[in-house]
Structure 1
Amino acid sequence: MADDARVDIGQLTEDQQLALQQFTAVTDQDVKDAIPLLRRCQWNVHIAIARFFDGEPAEDPVAAAPSSNTPPPQDSRHQETLQNGFTNSPRSSTSSRRRIDPAPRIVPQLESQVTTQAPLLLTILFTPFNLLYSLLSRYFRFVGYLFPFVPRFWGRLTASNINTPASRRTTGGRRPLNPRDTAARFIRELEEAYGTNNLPFFENGYAQAFDLAKKDLKFLLVILVSPEHDETSSFIRETLLSREVIDFIRSPENNVILWAGNVQDSEAYQVSAALNCTKFPFAGLIVYTPQVSSSAMGVATRITGLMPPDQFVSKLRQAMQSHAEPLSRVRAQRAEQQASRNIRQAQDSAYERSLAQDRERARKKREEAERQAREEKEALARSLAQELQARNQEQWRRWRASSIPVEPGNDVKDVVRISLRLPDGERVVRKFRADADIEELYAFVECYDILQSESGIRRVETEKVDEPKGFQHEYKFQLVSPMPREAYELKAGGSIKERIGRSGNLIVERTDLEEDGESDDDE
């Protein structure tokens, strides 16, 4: 198997590498130990995982056997006593290297849950009988529906045979339960028979205790008792419930998981068969055995029959000491692997945080660029709108200036004389027709700078300017009479004479300055 341990992963096919990756991810086993087991399972991941949890050695027992030039092991059969149990003699070291029996993982199944599939030939042969049975069942149910007293009468006749299952008649009436309830029933019966105790029983099934001991590298102490044996009561009272044994099991330094069962229960009976138990009461110490396989659990010691508490504890302690060094190595290896895993997780977490920060910075940068582009686009749109507004405003003023009639002469009697003080302080006096609309007065003030310049008058007279389409002009000022103060608003309409009279002294007040002030305050 040395060649298997030194195999190059690159020589495996893609399917084999995928199977190896799945197997190591589930079992957390080394690659050098996983490849031989996968080869024996024809690279079937499901079979390999099942054999791994059943405690099959990773190496081939035939290939891992000692070569012919290796000296045969010495006979390790000797009587273990308190005198030689703690000595470091060659005999004891040889005994610690004796063959360890494997401890399989037992998953019980209730008899009521076991289903069998009949062969196809028998199914075909019994098909007519099944149809006949179905028809008769429906017929009798119909008769029972018509005559309700018939089922009750038939039930009284067959109550003694029907209501008592055969399994309960043969097992003393112990109803099969699931593993957790079975463990709770055993603890309750033990307390009812022997009083309250401080034993830390594992209140679940054997498979769960087996997995926990393998995961946490603890010792699994299995206690199996049979009420039919005479020594059971003495073993429980004098040995199991003794202060020395209880303190030893409860000590955190010993790392003991205690599981016990009654062989009259299905699970305990299957465990006793798997552990080759031939005498009761039985105590077996199961431990993880890395020296045998990277996935195997073995029986470190077996204790059968009645035994004093000090000798019982001595045997357990001696078996634990013989496996302390391999377990310490595995614990250190797992601690190193966990530390490496924590470092990788911390590195991955730091990388994820750095990546998240980079993504956040990129997102903010992208949003800032989009905001700047949007603001530039809006500013350009406002600039174009303002330019268009200015062009339309100038075109409208030239168009309106060309449509303002000239000042009436002295020969016109019905006129209105208006004195205007412009915002720059200049005073203008002009005559208007009495029937002219008030809007003509506003238009004169709006277009005054064009009308007063000679070039503007000539351009107005020579050019024909059209009114800008879709443009709604708005006067940014109002005409106000100082004393008494009265604003002649344009929306009120009417002629100049009707609104002002024969003459008037008006002030031009700008309204856009107030709007600019309000906008500044808002900003």
Structure 2
Amino acid sequence: MADSAIDISTLSEAQQLALQQFTSVTDQDLGAAIPLLQRCQWNVQIAIARFFDGEPADPTSESVPEIPQPRDIRRQETLLNGFSSSSRSASSPLEPAPRIVPQPESQVARPAPLLLSVLFAPFNIAYSIISRSFGLLAYLFPFLPRLFSRITARNSTSAARRNTSGRRPLNTRDTAARFIREFEEEYGSNELPFFENGYAQAFDLAKKELKFLVVVLLSMEHDDTSSWVKKTLLSQEVMNFLKDPANNIIFWAGNVQDAEAYQVSNALSCTKFPFAGVIVHTPSISSTSMSLVARIAGPTTPSEMVSKVRSAITQYSSAINGIRASRAEQQASRDLREAQNSAYQRSLAQDRERARRKKEAEEARRREELEAREKQEAFEREARNLAEWKLWRAQSIVPEPDKSVKDVVRISLRMPDGERVVRRFAASLPLEELYAFVECYEVLQSEKVASEAKKPERYIHEYKFQLVSPVPRAVYELEGGGTIQERIGRSGNLIVERTDLDDEDDDE
């Protein structure tokens, strides 16, 4: 087919771009290139590979059925799928919008230190001279590029991705901040609601919150960029439309001189600048797909841009609202289940708390009963030991001296029950004998003294009273020792005061 018989204007922009890339690599004429591209579904990479594999260019020499490639949603996460999107049929109503995976910050190229740059400068100059020499040879002898065609085909994708603008590569957030800063320095402060992060983050947010992602790609070297930004993008009509919360718009913009924006332009098959596109979740394709539903390429007026974006939003709002309602219903169901689970857990916790309190109360009651029983047993044991001790001690109390004995001490005792007892004691007796008499007074009165009484084992008696002289008040304690005469004198009027009453009151 002759070149003059081919009407290139009938091809779409994506097909013209694919044809240009194919002919620049293979140096074929249009009559042989177009049939091969048509058989390859306008995929440049496959066409180049088949060309150098020796596939005949004549479409009649080999009949290859046009089988559409199955869409793999996972391939949309790669940059290569961005190029394959250019081969979609013009009759397809939607274009897939791949998610551009940003380069990790740890892999961002850093400029070499100054010392290394100086050391490697001669090698860089030599490499530049050699590469230009090969370029000159390729220009003089056109058949030489075909010898290296396989290497060219293999590295064409990576070469297309390479950023040759000389701009320092940054992470996605810093790249967005640099673009916004340069945009304001060039066009002044504005009210555009820029998304201050990478394209992938804006893509994920729009997919999660079911919003419309408006992507604007600018080429600062393009002649129409400055006028379009000033007259269209920065117009009050466009800014008000993008800021309106009712439109559910996420606005992301980038400079194609940056690596991320360049990858986005290739993935969206952007061939004309300035470029604007609307990306939204399209459940008609799959439950997770995002599609480019509106494409605005080249200079446009503010009203045209707003009209196209509004038309896309209106067209897909009903489907988005349905998905949003479905998600809200699912979220309400999840909230209801969580509330029921929470109520069940609270009820279970309350039952456990009641059981725990009941168990603690039961244990406390058992402890109190055990303590009361032990206290009662101790009290009874103390009473038995005291009774046995009184019987044992009463038998050793010295009897009252006769009236003929002169060296005696006359003591008047007022007992705790109010009874008054008058008795004489030998003056040489220790004070403890007086205390023992008071302690064993009831036993002595009952005449239960028995000579066979024994002292209780492991029992240490403690007197729980003290002898007090009322006027002047003086306490005669056993710790002071001494005889009755030394401590009290020839006679005394004493009161027996209980010392265990305070302890009994505390126990009660």
Please say whether Structure 1 and Structure 2 have the same fold, judged by a TM-score greater than 0.5: yes
Alignment check: 8 A CA contact 1:183 1:204 kept: yes
C-alpha distance in structure 1 between counterparts of 2:106 and 2:428, whole Å: 115
C-alpha distance in structure 2 between counterparts of 1:430 and 1:170, whole Å: 124
Find the counterpart in structure 2 of residue 92 from structure 1: none
TM-superposed deviation, 1:230 = 2.7
Find the counterpart in structure 2 of residue 198 from structure 1: 191
Find the counterpart in structure 2 of residue 187 from structure 1: 180
C-alpha distance in structure 1 between counterparts of 2:430 and 2:193, whole Å: 110
Q: Pick closer, same or farther for the CA change 1:408–1:153 going to 2, 3 Å.
A: closer
C-alpha distance in structure 2 between counterparts of 1:486 and 1:113, whole Å: 98
TM-superposed deviation, 1:332 = 0.7
1:516 correspondence with 2:501: yes
1:465 correspondence with 2:479: no
C-alpha distance in structure 2 between counterparts of 1:498 and 1:152, whole Å: 110
Find the counterpart in structure 2 of residue 379 from structure 1: 372
Q: Pick closer, same or farther for the CA change 1:313–1:484 going to 2, 3 Å.
A: closer
What is the root-mean-square deviation of aligned Cα atoms in Å?
Answer: 3.8
Find the counterpart in structure 2 of residue 213 from structure 1: 206
Find the counterpart in structure 1 of residue 339 from structure 2: 346
C-alpha distance in structure 2 between counterparts of 1:387 and 1:185, whole Å: 93
Q: Which of 295, 298, 315 is matched with 2:291 structurally? A: 298
C-alpha distance in structure 2 between counterparts of 1:505 and 1:199, whole Å: 111
TM-superposed deviation, 1:510 = 2.5
C-alpha distance in structure 2 between counterparts of 1:417 and 1:497, whole Å: 10
Alignment check: 8 A CA contact 1:480 1:507 kept: yes
- Tell me which moved more, 249-258 or 493-502: 493-502
Secondary structure at the counterpart of residue 403 of structure 1: coil
Q: Pick closer, same or farther for the CA change 1:335–1:419 going to 2, 3 Å.
A: closer
Q: Which of 87, 90, 102 is matched with 2:96 structurally? A: 102
C-alpha distance in structure 2 between counterparts of 1:364 and 1:182, whole Å: 61
Find the counterpart in structure 2 of residue 265 from structure 1: 258
Letter in 1 for 2:96: P
Q: Pick closer, same or farther for the CA change 1:505–1:521 going to 2, 3 Å.
A: same
Between the two proteins, the alignment pairs up a number of residues equal to 391
Q: Map Cα deviations across residues 115-134 of structure 1 (whole Å, 9 max, x no partner).
A: 9xxxxxxxxxxxxxxxxxxx
1:289 correspondence with 2:282: yes
1:51 correspondence with 2:51: no
Find the counterpart in structure 1 of residue 314 from structure 2: 321
Q: Pick closer, same or farther for the CA change 1:231–1:445 going to 2, 3 Å.
A: closer
TM-superposed deviation, 1:297 = 0.4
TM-score by length of 1: 0.65
TM-superposed deviation, 1:371 = 2.4
Q: Pick closer, same or farther for the CA change 1:423–1:152 going to 2, 3 Å.
A: closer
C-alpha distance in structure 1 between counterparts of 2:348 and 2:185, whole Å: 62
TM-superposed deviation, 1:260 = 1.6
Q: Map Cα deviations across residues 145-170 of structure 1 (whole Å, 9 max, x no partner).
A: xxxxxx989948948959x9999x98
Q: Which of 493, 498, 501 is matched with 1:506 structurally? A: 493
Secondary structure at the counterpart of residue 494 of structure 1: coil
1:363 correspondence with 2:356: yes
TM-superposed deviation, 1:204 = 1.3
Secondary structure at the counterpart of residue 247 of structure 2: coil
Alignment check: 8 A CA contact 1:110 1:176 kept: no
Find the counterpart in structure 1 of residue 151 from structure 2: none
Q: Map Cα deviations across residues 80-108 of structure 1 (whole Å, 9 max, x no partner).
A: xxxxxxxxxxxxxxxxxx63111110013
Alignment check: 8 A CA contact 2:413 2:496 kept: no
TM-superposed deviation, 1:243 = 2.7
C-alpha distance in structure 1 between counterparts of 2:116 and 2:330, whole Å: 71
C-alpha distance in structure 2 between counterparts of 1:425 and 1:228, whole Å: 122
Q: Pick closer, same or farther for the CA change 1:217–1:420 going to 2, 3 Å.
A: closer
Q: Map Cα deviations across residues 384-405 of structure 1 (whole Å, 9 max, x no partner).
A: 1111111111111100111123
C-alpha distance in structure 2 between counterparts of 1:340 and 1:348, whole Å: 12
Find the counterpart in structure 1 of residue 44 from structure 2: none
- Percent identical pairs in the alignment equals 58
Alignment check: 8 A CA contact 1:108 1:266 kept: no
Find the counterpart in structure 1 of residue 465 from structure 2: 477
Find the counterpart in structure 2 of residue 436 from structure 1: 429
Letter in 2 for 1:492: G
TM-superposed deviation, 1:427 = 4.3
Q: Pick closer, same or farther for the CA change 1:159–1:448 going to 2, 3 Å.
A: same
Alignment check: 8 A CA contact 1:416 1:431 kept: yes
Find the counterpart in structure 1 of residue 235 from structure 2: 242
Alignment check: 8 A CA contact 1:110 1:266 kept: no
Q: Map Cα deviations across residues 301-353 of structure 1 (whole Å, 9 max, x no partner).
A: 21222223222222222222221211111011111112222222322333333
C-alpha distance in structure 2 between counterparts of 1:356 and 1:257, whole Å: 45
- Tell me which moved more, 222-231 or 207-216: 222-231
C-alpha distance in structure 2 between counterparts of 1:276 and 1:270, whole Å: 10
Alignment check: 8 A CA contact 1:101 1:299 kept: yes
Query: Any gaps of 5 or more consecutive residues in structure 1?
Result: 1-48, 56-74, 78-97, 116-150
Secondary structure at the counterpart of residue 264 of structure 1: coil
Q: Pick closer, same or farther for the CA change 1:385–1:154 going to 2, 3 Å.
A: closer
- Tell me which moved more, 205-214 or 443-452: 443-452
